[in-house]
Amino acid sequence: MMKVSVIGGGIIGLCSAYYLLKEGFKVTVIDKGTITEGASFINAGYITPSHFVPIAEPGMINQGIKWMFNNSSPFYIKPRWDMDFFKWAWYFKKSSTRKKVERAIPVLKELNIKSRDLYTEMLDSLDFEFHLERKGLLMVYKTAKNQDHELKLAEKGKELGLEVSVLDKEILHKTEPKFKDDVLGGVHYECDAHSTPELFMKNLKTWLQQNGVRFILGEHVDGFETDGKIIKSLKTVSDTIEADEFLLAAGTWTFGLVKQLGLNIPIQPGKGYSINIVRQTDIKLPAILTEAKVAVTPMKGFTRFAGTMEFSGDNSHIFTNRVSAIAKAASDYYTDLSFTSQEKQSATCGLRPISPDGLPFIGKSSKFKNLNIAAGHAMMGWSLGPVTGKLITEVIGKQKTSVSLEPFKVERF
C-alpha cells in the first residue's frame, strides 16, 4: 500500500486525505496546529460557481494602494518592507490583465461546479454528517455604480450557463425582508450553495481517523531528506516520516515549506475576519453586501458575518476597527441588526493563501518526482476543497485528471 504524507489539515488537506483514502492509499496528515481554527473554520462557507472572476482583476492593486492608509477598508495592504510581498505584488500586477482574467473565468466556473457537485456526493455517501444547503447567493447593492457592475457580471454568468436572476428592489425585499429600504436590488445566483465549515471539518476529521488516517498534530515540518529527484522523508521536531508521495496542502505556509526545497511558489497570506451571532437574526439567505464587501451566511445555529482582505504578513492580530467595520456594514444593510460588544470581541480571523493570479497551484513539482502541491486557493478554498482533493488524488494515482491542470501549473511563476 502506497504511503502519502499530507502536510496541512485545512479544507484542502482533509479533502485530499478523503479521496486518497478512498483510492486505497495509506494517509498521514501532519499539521502545526490542532485542526480547530484558521481560515478553514472561520470562512463564509460559500460554494460558489458565481465566483468566476479571480481576485487578480484589473484595478485591484491601485485600489489597494488607495486604501493603504485606511486599515478599516475592505482591502488593506499594511505598509511594510517585505521583499517576498513585493515580488508577489509584481506577479499580481502582471496577472491583472483583462486577457488573463477572461482566460481564467471558464476555468474557475468549471472547477467550482465540479466541487459543488462533489459536496453533494459526499453528503449522499453518508460517510459523515455536515450542513449543506442550496439556496443560492445574493449580491446586493445600494449604489448605481455597484448595480451596473453586478448586472454586467450577471450577464456574464448567464453566458456561462449559470442559474442567475436579477432582482429589482421589490422582489429583493420580498425575497429577503430584512434588508433596509436603501438596498436597491440584487443578483441571485441560484447555482450557489453554502455550508457550516466547523461541522464539516470536525466530522470529516473524525471520519478520517476512524477509517485509518493517522494525524500528527502540533508538529512543524522542519525539513526534508532528499535523494536526487526523490523526497525520502520529512522531519518534525520529534519524528522522521517516510512516504512514497508527499502533498503540500499547508495553505499560506506552503510558500515557506517549498522554499526549503528550492522552489518558488509565491503565496501571500490574505487575512479575513468573521463575527458570529448565535441568536435569531431572521436572515434567510446568504448575501454579499457589495459596497462593504461583507459576506453574510445563515449557518447551522448561528449567522456569520465575514469580510476584509488584509495583507499584513503572517500573523493572527485582530484589528478591532476592521471588526467594527464589518459589524457596521451589516447593520447598515439589515433592519434591527446590531452586534453586542461580546460578539465583536469574539471575532476570529484566518489567513487565506493568495496566489498572484487568483488561481490555485495544483499538481506535481518538476524538481521532485514525488512532490505534489495543492495550495493558493485565495478566497475559494472552501468552495474548491473537494475538487482539489479529487484532482490531486488523480495526480498521485497517475490517473487522467477530471479537468486540465494546465492553468494551475505549480511552477508558472
The predicted structure's pLDDT at residue 282:
97
Burial (CB count within 10 angstroms: exposed 0-12, middle 13-18, buried 19+), residue 93: middle
Mind giving me the DSSP string for 245-269? EEEE--GGGHHHHHHTTT-----EE
Of 55 and 112, more confident: 112
Cell for 137?
447567493
Say if CB 45 and CB 17 are below 8 A apart.
Answer: no
Q: What are the tens digits of pLDDT across the range 184-238? A: 999 999 999 999 999 999 999 999 999 999 999 999 999 999 999 999 999 998 9
Q: Which of helix, strand or coil describes residue 277? A: strand
Q: What does R_g of the chain's alpha carbons equal in angstroms?
A: 21
- Other beta carbons less than 10 A from residue 170's beta carbon: 9
Give the model's confidence band at 114: pLDDT under 50 very low, under 70 low, under 90 confident, else very high.
Answer: very high
Task: Kindly list the distances between the CA atom of residue 231 and the CA atoms of 252, 258, 294, 365, 366, in Å, as whole numbers in the listed order.
Answer: 21, 12, 42, 11, 12
Structural domain includes residue 360:
yes
Q: Which of helix, strand or coil describes residue 226? A: strand
Structural domain includes residue 14:
yes
Q: Which of helix, strand or coil describes residue 370? A: coil
Structural domain includes residue 20:
yes
- Other beta carbons less than 10 A from residue 88's beta carbon: 20
The predicted structure's pLDDT at residue 351:
98
Give the model's confidence band at 68: pLDDT under 50 very low, under 70 low, under 90 confident, else very high.
Answer: low
Return the percent helix, strand and coil in the chain, to nearest 5. 35, 25, 35
Structural domain includes residue 12:
yes
Structural domain includes residue 413:
no
Domain membership of residue 103 as a residue range: 3-408
Q: What is the CATH number of the domain that holds 152?
A: 3.50.50.60
Average pLDDT, the chain: 96
| Stretch 2-27: mean pLDDT | 99
Give the model's confidence band at 169: pLDDT under 50 very low, under 70 low, under 90 confident, else very high.
Answer: very high
Mind giving me the DSSP string for 34-65? -SSSSHHHHS--EE-TT--S-S--TTHHHHHH
Backbone angles phi, psi at 276, to 5 degrees: -110, 140
Structural domain includes residue 358:
yes
Structural domain includes residue 244:
yes
Residues facing residue 296 across a β-bridge: 287, 305
Closest CA to 49 of 176, 242, 194: 194
Q: Count of domains in the chain?
A: 1
Q: What are the tens digits of pLDDT across the range 372-392? A: 999 999 999 999 999 999 999
Of 238 and 364, more confident: 364
| Distance of alpha carbon 254 from alpha carbon 240, whole angstroms | 19
Q: What are the tens digits of pLDDT across the range 237-283? A: 899 999 999 999 999 999 999 999 999 999 999 999 999 999 999 99
Q: Could you give the count of Cα atoms lying within 13 Å of 68 in the half-sphere of its Cβ?
A: 9
